[in-house]
Structure 1
Amino acid sequence: MNKGTVFLLLNGEPPKNITNISDYEIICATDGAYHFLEKNKIKPNFISGDFDSIENLPKDIEVIHTPNQNFTDFDKILHILFEKGFKTVDVFGASGKEQDHFLGNLHTAILWKEKLSLTFFDNHSCYFLADKKTEILNSVDKTISLVPFPEAKNIRTKGLQYSLNDENLSIGNRIGTRNKGIENTIEITFKTGELFIFIHH
């Protein structure tokens, strides 16, 4: 039996609107993000972290202490979710504030790509690590960026204003920001490397 989707909140820029929280099977957060849930009267199923930033731990929520400083709070909470049997995670608060954390969260997504399906949401876009063949629906007039991390090779696209035909993208050379969907369904394929897709609201 596949478990449902997880709502995970990290301690970056919090979402301005949470309209579909009831759609998620469980809600969880790292310790620094718990204050936002508490302020908005959202009760998580559990929180995890080293809890340096919380003076009074909640009594009615599962608290999982993860003091190991060799891993980020994001990596540690993904491990907990994987051990609990979850596979699909919507991640909020992964960007904004300190940008080194944002880049570190992209790195963590790559580490977990074989085990978990992660989709990130912020107040400007959603983004995810592309499969070797990816389809994006409802894409007409949306701004779409292809960002290698650090490179992706032999990329082909269908449905974008500026198409790629067996081309390479790499940090420091060429990346594919601010493209535009001209068809309802966009197809993106590539052979090697890692590629993040950003879809702007």
Structure 2
Amino acid sequence: MSSHHIVRDDQEPALIIANGEACSMELLNQLLEWSPLVIVLDSAMDRVAPLGIKVDVLLGDFDRGFDPVIHDNYQYPIEIVYTPDQDKTDLEKAFDYLVDRGIPAANVVWATGRRADHSIANMTNIVRHKNELKIVVLDDNSKIYRLPERFQKWYTAGTVISLIPVGTVTGISSENLEYELDDDTLQIGYRVGNSNSAKKDGTVTISYKTGDLLMMECFD
């Protein structure tokens, strides 16, 4: 069974494995190397178990007949966290768990693909903990996170960048994008910043005034 890197001060991001489309083992192993804590959500454990990953926490409402106890012996020690609240998704409950543990950041995999409703919920719900957790959702084709109100990062020319509002986002301005924004408003379902890109090698700057804006760095 492969272990994962232990960071005693819990400052590196925890890794949450949800129950959507699996990512490549290359990406998964990169994240495992620096994760102080690995959380698997509910029945995804049946898919994670054959991969030989040491899991620290198994969390969920354990419905549909899933029995978490069968994983107890070979994963020992493992913490089994029963979270029956049906008003939150298992991923939201995992975020709550990390906040309670005082862990400041999380990478999330297997959160996209498969069911569209789960994918949309998993991508947009990350804004709920914007003041408590730094959350990044990753798959083999994209990296998704909430932008701070002022953001700067160096990109190579042509890097695909999509700006997706959760609700309505106002006062969006940019520098070094192919399609610049100048005090613009984006609103989900009406206007989004899909398939933009870095205009040239260098720093991309994005700022906005109100709302929650998701960055999606896309790798075709």
TM norm. shorter chain > 0.5? yes
**Structure 1 position 142 matched with structure 2 position 133:** no
Q: Distance in 2 between matches of 1:39 and 1:132?
A: 41
CA displacement at 1:128 relative to structure 2? 0.7
TM-score, normalising length from structure 1?
Answer: 0.93
Aligned partner of 1:86 among 96, 103, 107? 103
How far apart are residue 155 of structure 1 and its match? 0.6
* Aligned-partner Cα distance in 1 for 2:39–2:55: 5
Tell me the TM-score normalised to structure 2 length.
Answer: 0.85
Q: Which residue of 1 aligns with 2:13?
A: 5
Runs of 5+ consecutive residues of structure 1 not aligned to the other structure: none
Percent same amino acid at aligned positions?
26
Contact (CA 8 Å) 2:147, 2:212: kept in 1 or not?
A: yes
Asked whether 1:188 is paired with 2:206, we answer yes
Distance 1:72 1:86 in 2: 19
User: Number of aligned pairs?
Assistant: 201
Q: Aligned in 2, Cα 1:200/1:103: closer, same or farther, shift over 3 Å? A: same
Judged with a 3 Å threshold, the aligned counterparts in structure 2 of structure 1 residues 69 and 173 are, in CA distance, closer, same or farther, namely closer
Task: Report the equivalent of 1:40.
Answer: 51
Q: What is the deviation of 1:51?
A: 2.1
Partner letter of residue 29 of structure 2? T
How far is 1:2 from its partner?
A: 5.9
Name the structure where helix makes up a greater proportion of residues: 2
Does the 8 A contact of 2:177 with 2:204 survive in 1? yes
1:47-95 CA distance string (max 9 Å, x none): 1012235332423121111122122111111111111110110111111
Structure 2: gaps spanning 5 or more residues = 1-8
CA-to-partner distance for each residue in 1:116-161, whole Å, 9 max, x for gaps? Answer: 1101101210011111011223342211101111221111111111
Partner in structure 1 of residue 22 of structure 2:
14
State the AA in 2 paired with 1:9: I
* Range moving further from structure 2, 62-71 or 82-91: 62-71
The equivalences for 1:1-201 within 5 A come to 3-17=11-25, 18-20=28-30, 21-52=32-63, 54-55=66-67, 56-59=70-73, 60=76, 61-182=78-199, 183-201=201-219
